[in-house]
Amino acid sequence: MATLIDGKAIAKDIRREIAKEAAAFTEKYGVKPCLKVILVGDDPASCIYVNNKQKACEKAGIDAETLRLGAETKTEELLGLIGKLNADKLVNGILVQLPLPAHIDEKKVLDAINPEKDVDGFHPMNAGKLLEGEALLEPCTPKGCIELLKRMNVEIAGKNAAVVGRSNLVGKPVALMLLRLNATVTVCHSKTKDLGDVLRRADIVVAAAGKPGLVTGDMLKDGAVLLDVGINRLEDGSITGDIDFESASKRASMITPVPGGVGPMTIAMLLKNTMLAAEAQNA
């Protein structure tokens, strides 16, 4: 039976470490590291995410404020607000909660964030730096996956890694990060002919497809390490991942649960990025 990778406990350790860094920063500069979160509209899931982010920041000693804008907000108004936050020296991080209402030009908005304050790591400048292997601010969920592997002492160099999903948010960045750490990486997507054929060769599997139970035990190599990024809400309201936990945990050496695996790491990495941004801006 596989060892459970307790993302909740690992994220808690990281948040504790960040609280120390934030306290040292506040002592040194006389101000707390500061994150501004912009929420447009009142999508219930987004409201929960934003509240969780704000609470986690406050607990870690990071000054966080959520700026709530009406669903009718225009792209230009949002760009104006981002311009002000970009210019404010006391603001270290800016996060625009996605998804934005359909009438807003999401790309234009994300591209307007000063890359030095882009704590989500979505700006093309940071994506380019990630490709070159030298980004300071990397996307939080992929960064959380790598941190889990490191904290569980999983050897990455020389291993075969398979990533299921190729989104700019998760699949592509996590593949680049694994590659940088010298894994041999295969990226799978919806047109991949035989997923099991690829996964059965993988020592590390990162599943980020958004398809409940897509990866089953028979598709896996014995002893594989499994990170399940998927968050899928079932009809009964429960949350499940992309990996069929029951069959997969019989083959794997380590596996993340859903919830309580990769999810908590995303917020921990947001706090980490806010600290990194604050320190870099004051260096």
CB 268 within 8 A of CB 15: yes
How far is Cα 264 from Cα 83, in angstroms, rounded to an integer? 30
Choosing from 22, 62, 231, 255, the residue that interacts with ligand NDP (CB under 6 A) is 231
**53 a catalytic residue:** yes
Specify the amino acid at residue 182: N
Is residue 242 helix, strand or coil?
Answer: coil
Single out the catalytic residue among 6, 63, 97, 221. 97
Where do the DSSP E strands lie in 127-203?
160-164, 184-188
Candidate segments 32-40, 96-104, 182-190, 244-252, binder of ligand NDP by CB under 6 A? 182-190
With binding defined as CB under 6 A, does residue 100 bind ligand NDP? Answer: no
Single out the catalytic residue among 6, 32, 36, 53. 53
With binding defined as CB under 6 A, does residue 171 bind ligand NDP? Answer: yes
In degrees, rounded to 5, the angle at the alpha carbon of residue 32 between the alpha carbons of residues 169 and 114 is 40
Candidate segments 17-25, 31-39, 109-117, 162-170, binder of ligand NDP by CB under 6 A? 162-170
- The binding track of 129-148 with respect to ligand NDP, each residue x by CB under 6 A or -, is ------------x-------
- The binding track of 248-277 with respect to ligand NDP, each residue x by CB under 6 A or -, is --------------xx--x-----------
Q: Which residues in the 198-217 window bind ligand NDP by CB under 6 A?
A: 208-211, 214
Q: Residue count of the chain, please give it.
A: 283
With binding defined as CB under 6 A, does residue 186 bind ligand NDP? Answer: no
How far is Cα 199 from Cα 39, in angstroms, rounded to an integer? 38
Is residue 165 helix, strand or coil?
Answer: coil
Phi/psi for 226 (5° steps) reads -120, 125
With binding defined as CB under 6 A, does residue 149 bind ligand NDP? Answer: no
Residue reference for tokens 């359909």: 102
What is the binding site for ligand NDP (CB under 6 A)?
141, 164-167, 169-171, 188-192, 195, 208-211, 214, 229-232, 262-263, 266
